[in-house]
Amino acid sequence: MILNKRIDAFANLGLSLSEMLTSSNCDNDLKKCMQQAHQKNAWFISDFVTYSLENIAKQLDKKTLEAWTSKYEFASKSKTVGLVAAGNIPLVSFHDFLAVLISGHKVLLKLSSKDNVLMPFLIKKLIETEPTFSEKIIVTDGILKDFDAVIATGSNNSAHYFEYYFKQVKHIIRKNRSSIAILDGTETTNELDGLINDALMYFGLGCRNVSKIFIPVHFDIRNLYKHISKFVHIKDHYKYFNNYEYNRAIYLVNKTEHFDNDYLIFKEDEGFFSPLSVLYYEKYDNLCVLQEKIANAKESIQCIVSKSDVFYKKSTGFGNAQNPEINDYADDIDTLKFLEKL
CATH architecture of 3-176: 3-Layer(aba) Sandwich (3.40)
Give the burial class of 184: count Cβ atoms within 10 A of its Cβ; 0-12 exposed, 13-18 middle, 19 or more buried.
Answer: middle
Structural domain boundaries in the chain: 3-176, 178-305
Q: Which residues of the chain fall below pLDDT 70? A: 26-27
Give the residue from 48, 50, 66 showing the smallest Cα distance to 18. 50
Q: Would you state the pLDDT for residue 304? A: 97
DSSP state of 330: G
Topology (CATH) of 178-305:
Aldehyde Dehydrogenase; Chain A, domain 2 (3.40.309)
- Whole-prediction pTM: 0.95
- Which contiguous run of DSSP H or E holds residue 193? helix 189-200
User: In DSSP terms, which residues pair with 281 in a beta bridge?
Assistant: 213, 268
Q: Are 176 and 110 in contact (CB under 8 A)?
A: no
Q: Are 212 and 337 in contact (CB under 8 A)?
A: no
The tens digit of pLDDT for each residue in 221-266 reads 999 999 999 999 999 999 999 999 999 999 999 999 999 999 999 9
Q: Would you state the pLDDT for residue 1? A: 85
